[in-house]
Structure 1
Amino acid sequence: MADASAVLNVSPVIPVVTIDEPQDAVPLARALADGGVKIIELTLRTESALTSLKLIATEVPEILVGAGTILTPAQADAAVAAGARFLVSPGVTPALLSSMLALDVPVLPGVATVGEVMAVLEQGLDTMKFFPAGPAGGPGYLSAIGAPIPHVRFCPTGGISLATAPDYLKLPNVACVGGSWLTPAAAVAAKDWARIRVLASEAARLGR
């Protein structure tokens, strides 16, 4: 079983990115890396997502590229074949978790309740995605989980911004946060890679 701890330690923020046009993939990834964020969770929400993932994996090797929004075993297989070096799911089922773990890449399964955390723990994992972080209870909820289950480390994602990220990062059971604010749709559409580089630089400075 691949250890996901190293994934959580790359950056205080993991950019959660949706790319519509594959030609934007490489310059976007390079802008993040130049800003000091050496990791990207590329969501499989577009038909061309796997193409974008493969381009980043091939042409921007300095960035750790993973695939997000994994919903099925087939998506997990395809993502790893395209070059994904870690997998992230918004939620998890026993079948999906089993299939992802069989691929021997780090896995961040999505959880939102204490019962889900315990179910993932039973499979030998102690690093998880907490999603959707804001609607599910935010920093207060994660702090409460930390009392009975202090050894699980989370990457909360969903509704987090540059302003609210520090509220999560100060918790002892939060290793990093996921956020889409680093790659705003308007900046990507305008190919404003300088803007994304600045946002990445701001995020990189959030480290404790």
Structure 2
Amino acid sequence: MTGPTTDGRVLKGNETRRLVLAHAMRIASVEGLAALSIGRLAGELELSKSGVFALFGSKEELQLATVRAAERVYHDHVIAPALDRPAGVERLLVLLEGWLEYSRTRVFAGGCFFYAVGAEFDAQPGRVRDALGEGSRTWRQLITDQLQAACAAGELPRDTDVEQLCFEVQAMLEFANAMSLLHDDEAPYQCARRAVRRLLRTE
């Protein structure tokens, strides 16, 4: 039987986990997942190292939990606002605009969390890379699905090379993110918006 004391410990543990992961996401988006450690997070948040260790158990589990937490943030900011729009160009434009705003407004201090940590782990086989790769495939498939729906609805030519167009659209977003961070300039986002709309023939 669960009593008040047990419930209180669970709630406190969940609250501590959220606090640690929020801080971990901020660090990782700027310094990378390799910069995370249980000792560092405990020290910076003034928590006990043993308590943080009990929540994650290892550095790899901490990294994986941070990736999953970032995926939830990404879903809320980029994906969820588009899901009530009709499939095709309309939903795709909301997705892409959501992505540009997510990067421009620095939901994560280092711009797109997944662009940053993906570059860190793309040549390092393991569970973290696998998790990042799965997330990347899911995002690419979501874009591809909208392009296919647009072709079926006559919003794009039926002979459109959907895989190529998806690649080009994603390249525009990621380049805008990289150039904005490097030059501390928002202009790349406007360039990306115009380029994407031309690719989708909405300008």
Report the TM-score, using the length of structure 2 for normalisation. 0.26
More helix by share: 2
More strand by share: 1
Greater Cα radius of gyration, structure 1 or 2:
2
Between 1 and 2, higher relative CO (CA 8 Å, sep ≥ 6) is seen in 1
Report the TM-score, using the length of structure 1 for normalisation. 0.26
